[in-house]
Every structure is written in structure tokens, then in C-alpha cells.
A = this chain, B = another copy of it.
Amino acid sequence: MKILVTSGGTSEAIDSVRSITNHSTGRLGKIITETLLASGHEVCLMTTKRALKPKAHPNLSIQEINNTNDLLLEMQERIQDYQVLIHSMAVSDYTPVYMTGLEEVQASSNLEEFLNKQNHQAKISSTDEVQVLFLKKTPKIISLVKEWNPTIHLIGFKLLVDVNEYHLVDIARKSLVKNQADLIIANDLTQISENQHHAIFVEKNQLQTVQTKEEIAELLLEKIQAYHS
């Protein structure tokens, strides 16, 4: 099958020297991609500059993006060509709009004015003791996938931090329904380490738990093979 995998973490520029970055090594996306390639699938890996990447392979194309907007445009353009999307990228929820000193913010009678401003300095001046950064929500790309390609099999991830498992599964289930996904893989940052990656596969009528990145990749492969048959 033709499978689109996303990995790594997006960066949203504050100015030309600073960004807000979502942490992600890209290791899981790399292992998933290698597992799919080894089973004969054709993979496009959409990832970020600093993410770990698989070795070259005749059935692999790699495409780098930086920020949420890049991801949106590239995905919209390409998603029609794929039968499965595995969306493991850590996508920024917010992107910077305007940064300024506290005094300018204190002097304002309507904070919403800052949402229409933008910084014109290439490197924002660092004289103020306190700066205030206004950020706006980015589009939820996972929620647009089925509009762009209604027949695609959509596999998403939900990462929370230090929550109980019932809550994690509940949130993943909501994402499953809302985004019309086939599967949401729920995980908690506190249960991810170099050799462990506790994850819960949340489907409409089923929950399955695995413990490592390799097990995530293997179970994903099994799910995808089932879509095919």
C-alpha cells in the first residue's frame, strides 16, 4: 500500500533566531517506516529537519517540513495519493503572533489589538525585562484529513503527560470519533523512555496495549494489513 507517515516535531518561528519547538526525536516514525518498508509497502515520510530518519530505500521518499503551515499545505496536496496516514508528528498547537515588552501590554486597553500586530524586527530586541508573546491556535490538521481524502485509513496519536490511563483512553476515544480515525495510539510521556514506549491502541471496539516502539510498529503493520484484505 501507499502509506504516508509523519514524524518529528514542528517548529514555529518567533523571529529569525528563535522558535517554539515541539520535542520529538522522530525515532518512532523511523521504526514504523522501516517496518512498513520491510513488508513491501511504499512509504512517504513527512518529517522535520532534526528528526531521525531511516536509511535510503527504493520504496521510501522523505519530505522535510518546518512548521504547521508547511505540513498543512504539503498534506493537503499529497494526501489523495495515499491509502493510509500514520500521523505521529508532534504538531505545534500554537504559533507566535506578536512579541513585545510588558510595558506595551500594560498600556493597552484592548489586548486583542496585539493579535493583529506583527514583529518587524528580524531579531526581536532584548532590552525589556519581561516580554509577552501572543500565540494563536494552529489548524488541527488531523481533523482535516478525511475532508481531503474520505477513504483514507487515518491513524493518529494522542500524547498526554502524567495522566491516568482511563483519562488517556477517554481523550483518545474522543479524538477517534471527532477525526473519523480508524485508530488512535494513546501514550503518556512519563511512560516513554529509551527502551520502553507504553502505548494503547484505541479503536472503536477494542483496546490493545504494547510496551516498546518495535511493538507499536509491529501491531500497526498488522492493523494496516487487515485494512488491505
Q: Which residues of B contact A149 (CB under 8 A)?
A: none
Residue in contact with A94 in the complex, picked from B19, B131, B136, CB distance below 8 Å: B131
Judge if A17 is at the interface, Cβ distance under 8 Å.
yes
A-B pairs, 9 with minimum CB distance: A122-B161, A93-B126, A123-B161, A133-B133, A131-B135, A122-B162, A21-B21, A16-B161, A129-B137
By the criterion CB–CB under 8 Å, are A130 and B123 in contact?
A: no
Q: Which residues of B contact A11 (CB under 8 A)?
A: 21
Task: Mark interface residues in A138-181 (1 if CB within 8 Å of B CB, else 0).
Answer: 00000000000000000000011110000000000000000000
By the criterion CB–CB under 8 Å, are B23 and A19 in contact?
A: yes
| CB under 8 Å from chain B, chain A span 169-218 | 189-190
When chains A and B are docked, how far (Å) is the Cα of A189 from the Cα of B18? 12
When chains A and B are docked, how far (Å) is the Cα of A159 from the Cα of B93? 30
Residue in contact with A189 in the complex, picked from B14, B122, B129, B190, CB distance below 8 Å: B122
Q: Which residues of B contact A102 (CB under 8 A)?
A: 111-112, 134
How extensive is the interface on chain A, given as a class? 35 or more
Judge if A22 is at the interface, Cβ distance under 8 Å.
yes
By the criterion CB–CB under 8 Å, are A17 and B136 in contact?
A: no
Q: Which residues of B contact A38 (CB under 8 A)?
A: none
Residue in contact with A129 in the complex, picked from B23, B126, B128, B136, CB distance below 8 Å: B136
By the criterion CB–CB under 8 Å, are B137 and A130 in contact?
A: yes
Judge if A50 is at the interface, Cβ distance under 8 Å.
yes
By the criterion CB–CB under 8 Å, are B20 and A20 in contact?
A: yes
By the criterion CB–CB under 8 Å, are B22 and A21 in contact?
A: no
Judge if A115 is at the interface, Cβ distance under 8 Å.
yes
Q: Which residues of B contact A86 (CB under 8 A)?
A: none
